[in-house]
A and B are shown apart, each in its own frame.
Chain A
Amino acid sequence: MQTILNFLIRHNHWFLFALLMGISFVLIVSFNNYQNAVFFTSANRVAGNLFSMVTDVESYFGLQGENETLKEHNRLLIEELDRTRNELAALQDSASLEKHANAVNNGFYYTTARVVNNSLNRIDNYITIDKGLSDGVDSEMGVFNDKGVVGIVYQSSENYSIVIPLLNSKSNINCRIKGSDSFCALQWDGSDTRYSYLVDLPRYSAFEMGDTVVTSGFSSIFPADLPVGRICNLEDAEDGLFYRAKVELFVDFSAVTTLFVVGNDGKHEQSQLENSIGKR
């Protein structure tokens, strides 16, 4: 008996160890299972106060950045307000001018053309059409057919023009998803002639599979809302910041025959203005 007692006393740290480990495990298990273990977390008063004190102090260091963010936000809001006011004024003005604006067709004029040469199997495909400078067709005019957008005129001779179709790695057309306000560029990856890709599609843009992609109308090459294709697949861009949407093109490029070429009266004015900003 004495030996056993001695043994137990001599090794009492084993019991203490077992006890403390037991408490630890009870804490681990109970924290995972029950809400009443709050006392042993930072939700208790001492820890909570300490952390809120620290946060109070830390928030002062962030004030500079916070201020900048607010200023920037303010600036954006002012711009937004300005824009809205202008739009409102423009709307009020245009109500009376609408008939007139429709009559001149927003400055766009159209020419029909026939395809004389076409390629599909290269990375940089070109279409040749039978209209040129003498018909009023010049470079940087839009080309489309009854299905949708085909491409942009690249170079014109007296009677012929070369069109960069969507199926060209140089092709870069500013598009919009119908029913949303996000703009993005349409680019071809050089593989399947039926599909092209919307790159740099912002993640916040609201759209669904099957939504129609149309021209944005910003570029002065195409009028707004010409159909381009239908979104059929969605994936992350390489950088993970944007979406990359696969677009099923409306135009069957193996069967383009008759095309419309669209010119814009105001184009030179607009591009001159835009270039003057670029040069500065």
Chain B
Amino acid sequence: MTRNTFIRLRNFVLLSLVQVLIFSQIHLFGYATAYIYIIFILKLPRHTTRNELLIWSFLFGLTVDIFCNTPGINAAAATVVGFVRNHVLAAFTQKGIADDFIPGARSLQWGRYIVYSLICTSIFFTVLFLLEMFTVTSPLMLLTGVLSSTLLTMLFVTVIEFFSHAR
């Protein structure tokens, strides 16, 4: 348990650094930004309790917010993902399996893992862009932002999963 917590904290710090120092600096075409820290939420074990999920997501979102000068926006979006994640995951878990597992290409198969990540990511970006564009509500801009960022993030999620899977 302590070892798991330690690994989780290490991942937390590493992912925040990578997110804040590299990925948050990239704005492809002016609106697409990859928020790869969502992997942290995606990869929490299946039997993580809802409260735990919520708190981890919120903290991670808040950390990114602090560095990106967007107080509350990432925190809110990540909290929403943390809230729905278990429901989404349940839909992609084969019935009859009671074991705890870490969602991934190995445990879920590639197709299901990608769809699962895609749903979570698109929920995340929908909330994120809705909050970000609180005042400027241009539906087209919202849509392009959500779609492009989701695709970009999914690209990185898949690539990272591919390499951790191959190992």
Contacts and interface: CB of A to CB of B under 8 A. Distances in A.
Interface in B112-162: 131, 134
Given A16-B51, A20-B58, A42 B76 contact: no
Contacts of B67: 42, 47, 50-51
B3 to A, nearest CB: 26
Contacts of A28: 71-73, 76, 131, 134
B50 interface: yes
Interface in B68-83: 68-69, 71-73, 75-76, 79-80, 83
B62 interface: yes
Interface residues of A, number: 25
A51 B17 CA distance: 11
A42 B66 contact: yes
A31 B74 CA distance: 13
B54 interface: yes
Interface in A99-152: none
A30 B73 CA distance: 12
Nearest to A43: B69
Nearest to B65: A40
A12 B76 contact: no
A21 interface: yes
Provide the main secondary structure of the chain B interface. helix
Contacts of A20: 54-55, 58, 75, 79
Report whether over half of chain A's contact residues are helix, strand or loop; otherwise say mixed. helix
A6 B62 CA distance: 31
A50 B68 CA distance: 12
A43 B67 CA distance: 9
Contacts of B72: 23-29, 31, 40
B71 A37 contact: yes
Interface in A9-53: 12-13, 16-17, 20-21, 23-31, 37, 40-44, 47, 50-51
Contacts of A24: 58, 61, 72-73, 75-76, 79
A1 interface: no
B26 interface: no
Contacts of A89: none
Interface in B46-66: 49-51, 54-55, 58, 61-62, 65-66
B21 interface: yes
Nearest to B80: A21
B54 A41 contact: no
A25 B79 contact: no
A51 B69 CA distance: 12
Name the residue among B54, B55, B72, B73 with the largest chain A CB count within 10 angstroms: B72
A206 interface: no
Given A24-B72, A40-B72, 11 more contacts: A16-B50, A21-B76, A21-B79, A24-B75, A24-B79, A40-B65, A41-B66, A42-B66, A47-B67, A50-B21, A51-B67
16 contacts: A13-B54, A16-B54, A17-B83, A23-B58, A24-B58, A24-B61, A25-B76, A27-B62, A28-B131, A37-B71, A40-B65, A41-B69, A42-B69, A47-B66, A50-B21, A50-B67
Interface of B: 20-21, 49-51, 54-55, 58, 61-62, 65-69, 71-73, 75-76, 79-80, 83, 131, 134
Give the top 8 A-B pairs by smallest Cβ distance, nearest first: A27-B72, A24-B76, A28-B72, A13-B50, A27-B71, A40-B71, A24-B72, A31-B71
